[in-house]
Amino acid sequence: MVEYTYLVLRLPRGTTRDTARQVLTEHAEHGGWELHRVRLYPDGSRRIQLRRKIIRQVRTF
């Protein structure tokens, strides 16, 4: 079974789409995160949930 670790970002109301895209691109390229869920609230703020796989090492002898 695949396990993930999650990161939640909150972007305030005045954040433009271009700025949000830049933030997500940085996390994806440098941290290995992928987009899992985006929630846009009525006040204009965004809650973004990113995830990445947990890779477990198996001991070999």
Q: What is the mean pLDDT of the chain?
A: 93
Task: Look up the pTM and report it.
Answer: 0.81
Name the residue range of residue 16's domain: 4-53
Residue 30 is assigned to a structural domain of this protein: yes
Report the pLDDT value the prediction gives residue 33, as an integer from 0 to 100: 95
Residue 61 is assigned to a structural domain of this protein: no
- Of the chain, the percentage scoring pLDDT greater than 70 comes to 100
How many domains does the chain fold into? 1
Q: What is the pLDDT of residues 34-47, one digit of tens each?
A: 999 999 999 999 99
Residue 60 is assigned to a structural domain of this protein: no
Please tell me the distance from the alpha carbon of residue 15 to that of residue 55, in angstroms, as a whole number.
33
